[in-house]
Amino acid sequence: MTKQLILRPAEMADADLLLLWRNDVETRQASHNTDEVVLSSHLIWLEASLSKPDQRRLWVAEMMGKAVGTCRADRVENRWELSWTVAPEARGKGVAHQMLSVLVSYLDGPLVAQVRSDNMASIKVVERAGFAFDKEESGVLYYVFFRQSSSLV
């Protein structure tokens, strides 16, 4: 039986936990930007992110009341670009797939996920969640998700 995953909006009180996950060695190795982030920069970024929900939406994933990851949607033109991080202690348990599956139900319009070509775990996650490979540029794989129309013709 799968444990129920919920996404709740992130808040400033999550800053330390989000920074801890962001600076985790494995997270940084899989990220587009592999630099370590300092607290002062992180706090500025988080406050700005939370103040513009029309441009960026940030959630914390929880299972049984415990934070297990975070996911984000950035508005770029007419689409949402998605990213996610799983807490180190929650990796390998299907959390990323569950987060992405819930996240796509929260957003309208085309969705895009950019995954480093060497990040096999995230490649499996996006493909399992129904994203289709679009293109590769400079070692980054682009996946797209389009909703099926439910209208009858």
What number of CA atoms fall less than 13 Å from residue 91's CA on the CB side? 12
Residue 34 is predicted with a pLDDT of 72
3-state helix, strand, coil in the chain (%, to 5): 35, 35, 35
CA-to-CA distance for 32 and 43, rounded, in angstroms? 20
Q: If we measure between CA atoms, which residue out of 112, 23, 95, 108 comes closest to residue 60? A: 95
pLDDT in tens, the chain (153 residues): 457 999 999 999 999 999 999 988 788 777 777 778 899 999 999 999 999 999 999 999 999 999 999 999 999 999 999 999 999 999 999 999 999 999 999 998 899 999 999 999 999 999 999 999 999 999 999 999 987 644 444
Beta bridge partners of 138: none
pLDDT at 72: 95
**Predicted pLDDT at 33:** 78
**Could you tell me the fold of the domain covering 5-145?**
Aminopeptidase (3.40.630)
Residue with tokens 């996240």: 103
